[in-house]
Amino acid sequence: MTTFGWPEILFLLRAAGWTLLLTAIAFLIGGAIGGVFAIMRLSRIKILRRIAATYILVIQSIPVLMVLFMSYYGLSVIGFELPPFLAASASLAIYVSAYLAEIWRGSIESVPFQQWEASSSLAHSRAQTYRYVILPQAIRISLPPTVGFLVQLVKNTSIVSVVGFVELARAGQLVNNATFDSFRVFGLVALIYFAICFPLSRLSRHLEKVMNASRPH
Amino acid sequence: MPAVLIDDVHKSYGKLEVLKGVSLSVETGQVIALIGRSGSGKSTLLRCINGLEAFQSGRIEVAGHVLDQDPKHLRELRKDVGIVFQSYNLFPHLTVGQNIMLSPRITKNVPQAEALALAKEVLAQVGLSDKFDAYPDNLSGGQQQRVAIARSLAMKPKVMLFDEVTSALDPELTGEVLLVMEKLAQGGMTMILVTHEMNFARNVASTTVFMHQGKIWEQGPSKELFANPQTPELRGFVTAGAH
C-alpha cells in the first residue's frame, strides 16, 4: 500500500488536465455542431427545422452515459473500435451540441422580432440580418447560460471514467484504490473540481448582472 | 407614373379580412396621411407597401417595383422604400454612426469613406451631428426616432413610410420628430404616414385618407377633408379628437 503523497497529487493534477482538455474539445466541437442546429431549428425550411428539433429531442432524452456506451461498446460490436478518448470526446460533443443548440436558439429568439423587421426593411438579406443584427445581440444574451452550462460540462466529464478513460474522477478512484486514504483523496478531487467550476460560476453570475444592467428597454 | 400604385388589395388574417379592396395612387413628392381608428387597416396597408405583410390579392407597385414575396425582389424594392417604425428599432449594439452606415455598406457596397460622409450628412439633416458615436440607449426617444429617420435616408429612398412614428413619444418629444418630417416633406420626399397627429396631417399632408373597416372610407385634400367631412364616420372620428 502506498501513502498519499506528492506523486499521487501530481497524478491527480495531470488527470485534471485531461478533464480540462476533454471539456474544451467537447465544448468546441459540440458548440460548432450546436450552432448549426440552433440556426437550422429557426430555418424557414420546414425539413431543416424538423431534423434539428428531432436531433435535439432525442439527444436530450437519453442519458449521455448511453451515448457513451453506444459509441464505445456499441460501435466495437459492429467492428469500429474507438479509443476511449475519442469515444469520450465524441459522446460529450454530441451531448453538448444538443444543449447548446437549445440555449442558443432561445437566445436568438429573445432578440425582439422588430430587429428582424428593421433589418429586412433596410434591404438586408437573411444571412446579413443574422450576421450584423441578430447574432451580435444573441451572443450577448447567451453568454451567462453558456458559461453556466460549461460548469455542468466540467462536472459531467466524470462519466467517461466508466469506459476507462483516466480523467480526474477516474484518477481519484485509482489513487484511492492504492492508498485507501479516501477522505483526503476525494477531498482533493472535489477541491480541484471546485477550483475549476467556482470561477466559471462567478463569471456566469457576473455576466448575467452586466447583461441585465445594459439590457435595452 | 405614380410613385405608389395600390390596386384592389385584399388581405386577411385567417377569416378576419383586414383590407377589403384598397386602391390608392400616390404621386412623386406627394405626402399622404393615413388616418383611422385602430383596427381600420391603416398600418397593415402601410406594411404591405414594403412587403412586411403579404396580401392575398390585388397589386402594389412602388418606386417602379411590383410587389411579390420573392426575397430578392423585396431586397431591391426596400433599397428604394424606407420605413420608420413606432418603436424606432435602432440596432442597440451599434453606435448611431454604425446604425446609419451599415445598410449602405452591406447592401450597396458604398465605400467606407463615402458611407461616413453620407452618415454625417443625414445626421445633420435630423439635427443630431453631435450624436455620431452615441449608443441608442443613451438617447431620448425623440432622438432615437430622428436617428431611425436618418438611417432610412442614408439608403436614399424614393418613398418613405412612417408607421405611427410619434405614438411612443412623450408629447414634448413629438415636436422635434414632426419638424424633421416636415422638412423632408418640403424637400420633395414622397411620404406615406400613418398618424394620430391630426394637426400634422392637416398642415403637412397634401392628401388625407380616412380608413374605416378595411376600406378607404373617404379621401381628399387634407384641409378640405378635415374642414368638411362627408361621412358620419369621419365626422365622428374628427370630433372625437382622433384617439
Residue B188 DSSP label: T
User: Best of B91, B147, B156 to disrupt the A interface by mutation (most A CBs within 10 Å)?
Assistant: B91
- Mean pLDDT of all residues belonging to chain B: 94
Q: Are B104 and B110 in contact, with CB atoms under 8 Å apart?
A: yes
CA distances in angstroms from B185 to B62, B182, B193, listed in the order given: 18, 5, 11
Task: For residue A63, tell me if it sits in a domain.
Answer: yes
Q: What is the reported pLDDT for A48?
A: 96
Q: Report the C-alpha gap between A197 and A203 in whole angstroms.
A: 10
Task: Determine which of A37-41, A69-73, A197-201 has the lowest per-residue pLDDT on average.
Answer: A69-73
Which pLDDT band, with edges at 50, 70 and 90, does A82 fall under? Answer: confident
Instruction: Return the number of other C-beta atoms located less than 10 Å from residue B198's C-beta.
Output: 18
Q: What is the mean pLDDT of residues B121-144?
A: 95
Are B106 and A115 in contact (CB < 8 Å)? no
Structural domain boundaries, residue B159: 4-239
Residue scoring higher pLDDT (B239 or B90): B90
* Interatomic CA distance for residues A32 and A52, integer angstroms: 14
Please state, as a whole number, how many other Cβ atoms lie within 10 Å of the Cβ of residue A173: 14
Is B52's CB within 8 Å of A114's CB? Answer: no
What's the pLDDT at A77?
85
**pLDDT for A217 beyond 80:** no
The C-alpha cell at A56 is 435535439
Q: Nearest CB to B87: which of A114, A123, A136?
A: A114
Inform me whether the C-beta atom of residue B134 falls under 8 Å from chain A C-beta atoms: no
Kindly report whether the global pTM for this prediction surpasses the value 0.90: no
Name the β-bridge partners of B84: B162
Residue A216, pLDDT above cutoff 60: no
Whether A36 has a pLDDT exceeding 70, the answer reads: yes
CATH number, position B160: 3.40.50.300
CA distance B214 to B10: 9
Could you count the other beta carbons within 10 Å of the beta carbon of residue A89? 23
Count of domains observed in chain B:
1
Which amino acid, one-letter code, is at A37? F
Residue A172, number of CB atoms within 10 A of its CB: 27
In chain B, pLDDT over 90 holds for what percent of residues?
Answer: 90
Q: Which domain holds residue A156?
A: 25-213
Tell me, what's the pLDDT at B242? 47
Render the burial of B216-243: b for 16+ CB within 10 Å, e for the rest: bbbbbebeebbeebeeebbeebbeeeee
Q: ipTM value of the model?
A: 0.93
CATH number of the domain where residue A57 is located:
1.10.3720.10
Contact A154, A193 (CB under 8 A): yes
B155 interfacial to chain A (CB closer than 8 Å): yes
B192: nearest Cα among B211, B175, B176, B174? B211
Domain count, chain A: 1
Q: Which DSSP state fits A130?
A: I
pLDDT tens readout for residues A129-180? 999 999 999 999 999 999 999 999 999 999 999 888 899 999 999 999 999 9
pLDDT-derived band at A214, boundaries 50, 70, 90:
low
| Strands B81-84, B159-163: pairing kind | parallel
pLDDT of the residue at A213: 64
The predicted pLDDT at position A211 comes to 76
Give the residue-averaged pLDDT of B15-30. 94
Residues B189-225 pLDDT 10s: 999 999 999 999 999 999 999 999 999 999 999 999 9
Q: Which of B71, B82, B93 sits opposite A136 (nearest CB)?
A: B93
Q: Which of A121, A124, A210, A217 to mutate to test the interface with B (most CBs of B within 10 A)?
A: A121
Average pLDDT over residues B175-180: 93
Contact B106 A128 (CB under 8 A): yes
